[in-house]
Chains A and B, each alone.
Chain A
Amino acid sequence: MTNSPLTPGLAAARLPAQAIAAGFSDHDPALQPHEAAVAADRCYFCYDAPCVTACPTGIDIPLFIRQIATDTAQAAAQTILSSNILGGMCARVCPTETLCEGACVREEAEGKPVEIGRLQRYATDRAMDMPQPFARAPETGKRVAVVGAGPAGLACAHRLAMHGHQVTVYEARPKPGGLNEFGIAAYKATEQFAAREVEWLLGIGGIRIQTDTALGRDIALDGLAADFDAVFLGVGLGAVNDPGLGAAHPALRDAVDFIAELRQTADLSALPVGRDVVVIGGGMTAVDAAVQSRLLGAENVTIVYRRAQDRMSASHHEQDHATASGVRIRTNATPVALHDTPAGPEIEFAYTQDGPQGLERLAETFRLRADQVLSAIGQRLSPLPWGLAQESGKIAVTGPGRTSRAGVWAGGDCTGAGEDLTVSAVAQGRDAAEDIHAYLMGADHG
């Protein structure tokens, strides 16, 4: 008997394989040359352009769009990648509506910004088919350890390698890429883009990646500090916040794990999903988990967020994508308990409202059927920093990622500096690399 969205409980292959494949195909396909030319023609080449200011990596957007408009996409890619070596992934996952496109003057003029993200992908896609355009400076003899092969670590490693340093990247997981590989929705980076981008990036040389090596388990900060001339920590956030539903329940699962498993599953028809899925949270992870559950064939998928909808950190674009995918968004409700009933598990929520003391839980509750409860209520650093000063549960940094320990830098989600965006992590990794470079060369010559 074949499964369908109505099959009770957890089940795989709720949809035909072709339907699943179609759902997980590139959800925002690349611009064709004609489309790119039309889109590029809309750029006004603004002075001191607001889009550049809004980009955490400060890509010279008007310049790269002009380069596309004049049919030199390779030059455009060079412009992008010299500021953001993961410009290809950022073109796919950046919340552009709140960054560059949100600042575009044509957004103000017509409510229709220049399609910066898609143009960036147009240029960088071409670069991915070419050898990496950056060359290494002469060998400095300096060695740097980078912990974490996510966006921050990779950006840091690449910039260090460019400056002629030898970089060893330690990655806890079996594959590099960090959240690009394990954390974002599959349809945003199809055809193994994350892995291909890492491979392309490593083409610069001078970078060695050692996987299955976790800080605190296989290696220690003291050891790295002793063995290397500098250390960069881009470890991300290893632990998830507790939804406060008491003892572990078989239906309860962390959304980050769910997405990671999905991303590493070769045959999505083999991946079970509930008939009724409830996702707790209001960010991009919640949307990614919810939409992908629908694409696997879940009948009812509900995102439940504890505050009002305008407080959700998922962008409007993401929220629209969720609702257009058939996900229901409920707000002002917080989980209180999981119940087992003869019909299956149910999750109980209490209504909430904003009060003078913050969010207040009301007495009235409601229940939703939930074969799967995916918790996406944020991540935290685990274990707590290795003797490093911290701030709000994250590694405290000053300036370009300097931690409280000399010779140790940090960037990305594990620090409090950014907005937990890929593009911010790239900027922090890059800037820390420049600071490390200055430190290393200053130590020689100063």
Chain B
Amino acid sequence: MADLRSNFIGIKSPNPFWLASAPPTDKEYNVRRAYEAGWGGVVWKTLGMEGPPVVNVNGPRYGVIHGADRRVLGLNNIELITDRPLEVNLREIKQVKRDWPDRALVISLMVPCDEDSWKSILAAIEDTGADGVELNFGCPHGMSERGMGSAVGQVPEYIEMVTRWVKQYSRMPCIVKLTPNITDVRKPAEAAKRGGADAVSLINTINSITSVDLDLYAPQPTIDGKGAHGGYCGPAVKPIALNMVAEIARSPATRGLPISGIGGVTTWRDAAEFLALGAGNVQVCTAAMTYGFKVVQEMISGLGEYLDDKGMALSDLIGRAVPNVTDWQFLNLNYTTKAQIDPGLCIKCGRCYAACEDTSHQAIAMLPGRVFEVKDDECVACNLCIDVCPVEDCITMRELVPGTTDPRTGRKIETFANWTTHPNNPMAKAAE
């Protein structure tokens, strides 16, 4: 099987699958079991400053969005950083790292936004043997109210400042974990880079209310009749995370900055997508919290099989899709496809018809015997029929090559042309 060994900013691990800083990595017991299950590394749940630890709510901490069959699509949490004493965590980290030297162990940190606090926590972790630090600038609830977590991550100047302190007072590789609760993720990433970060990791969780208790009229999870926003994660946030990873990977200002991809990685395929968009490794939380540590075994075998099938090394996959991420204005407007329905695979549910007829372009005909057929002269190739079809590959897109006539427009399909040169674009550049 393909060699999955990973070297992320000098931190080595037997595979690129790390557990993210979160409840699964809160203590020695969990981390040992995670390593036994096969995880390549962990980011130890965020440590705070010395002294009385934070306290968590004693009611429910998580909210959930379910898909069919109560499949977990998204989790929301209002848990804070570790609520265990600093010295206990440090002792356990040291012990675990000594017993598992081949696995990555990164410590997540969050202390108040002043130089002394950072200097002292970095000194405290100095001799744990950990491989690096991750700065938690992402936690969007509770800690942010105290000027930490995403309160720092939302101010690029603070990110740069703290990162600089960390690089000044520690020899460890430094990963800056970014919050998605901002307008343009490139700005905090640039700040981290300016501050000297070795990498960024993203995304942390998204501000969210998962549901409302319709008897109590309160957000869930509900604590004594009240609810506060939490941080959303899981499969539902993957598209947001992928986009943010890609933005950093392709931005001239941050291109080449190593990225640890986080956000809804549930299967090897999700991981491969993050890697293809420029992540050097991935971090996982919700999948483990839903299915247990064993899920990593499918990720390992799946990624290995994929790389073998492609005849690629892990390093070949990283960033491979980045050149193909572009802006809308550069998309080829002459690229023309038509949906086609395979009657042999069709189970006649008619969902494509309902979607197209009611909400799209009236481009599917329902013939006697519940035979569904695409009307090429109406189809704009929007893809909605494919998205709602329950059967994979029953509906596919067929490309019309340049030179053929699009039955919808009656015009011959031309070669490449995008919006920048389109006659309808008032800003079009002359195509001379």
Contact = CB atoms under 8 A, between A and B. Distances in A.
Interface of A: 37-38, 41-42, 44-50, 105-106, 108-109
B68 interface: yes
B347 A37 contact: no
A374 B176 CA distance: 83
Given A44-B390, A47-B354, A50-B370, A105 B69 contact: no
Interface string B351-391: 10110000000000010001000000000000000000011
B140 to A, nearest CB: 30
A46 B390 CA distance: 10
A105 B347 contact: yes
Interface in B118-151: none
A50 B351 contact: no
Given A109-B390, A109-B391, A46 B351 contact: yes
A46 B348 CA distance: 8
A47 B354 CA distance: 6
Contacts of A38: 69
A106 B354 contact: no
Contacts of B70: 37
Given A44-B351, A46-B351, A108-B348, 20 more contacts: A37-B70, A38-B69, A41-B68, A41-B69, A42-B68, A44-B349, A44-B390, A45-B351, A46-B349, A46-B350, A47-B351, A47-B353, A47-B354, A47-B366, A48-B366, A48-B370, A49-B350, A106-B347, A109-B390, A109-B391
A55 to B, nearest CB: 16
Nearest to B345: A109
A32 to B, nearest CB: 15
Contacts of B349: 44, 46-47, 105
Given A44-B390, A47-B353, A50-B370, A105 B68 contact: no
A264 B349 CA distance: 44
A275 B390 CA distance: 53
Interface string B331-359: 00000000000000001111101100000
Nearest to A37: B70
B347 A47 contact: no
Nearest to B70: A37
A288 B149 CA distance: 70
Interface residues of B, number: 14
26 contacts: A37-B70, A38-B69, A41-B68, A44-B349, A44-B351, A44-B390, A45-B351, A46-B349, A46-B351, A47-B349, A47-B350, A47-B353, A47-B354, A47-B366, A48-B350, A49-B350, A50-B348, A50-B370, A105-B347, A105-B348, A105-B349, A106-B347, A108-B347, A108-B348, A109-B390, A109-B391
A319 to B, nearest CB: 26
Contacts of A46: 348-351
B390 to A, nearest CB: 6
Interface of B: 68-70, 347-351, 353-354, 366, 370, 390-391
Nearest to A40: B68
A44 B354 CA distance: 12
Contacts of A37: 70
Contacts of B390: 44, 109
A106 B353 CA distance: 17
A109 B350 contact: no
A97 B354 CA distance: 26
Contacts of A109: 347, 390-391
A48 B350 CA distance: 7
A109 B389 CA distance: 12
A50 B369 CA distance: 10
A204 to B, nearest CB: 32
Contacts of A48: 350, 366, 370
Contacts of A45: 351
Instruction: List 5 tightest A-B contacts by C-beta distance, closest first.
Output: A47-B350, A47-B354, A41-B68, A109-B347, A105-B347
Contacts of A47: 349-351, 353-354, 366
Contacts of A106: 347
Contacts of B68: 41-42
A223 B68 CA distance: 59
Nearest to A39: B69
A283 to B, nearest CB: 30
A48 B351 CA distance: 9
Contacts of A41: 68-69
A359 to B, nearest CB: 33
A45 B221 CA distance: 30
A383 B391 CA distance: 55
Contacts of B366: 47-48
A368 B349 CA distance: 49
Contacts of B69: 38, 41
A34 to B, nearest CB: 9
Contacts of B370: 48, 50
A39 to B, nearest CB: 10
Nearest to A62: B349
A103 B384 CA distance: 25
B354 to A, nearest CB: 4
Q: Give the interface centre of A41, A44, A47, A108 by most chain B CB atoms within 10 Å.
A: A47
Contacts of A105: 347-349
B20 to A, nearest CB: 29
Contacts of B351: 44-47
Nearest to A48: B350
Contacts of A42: 68
B228 to A, nearest CB: 26
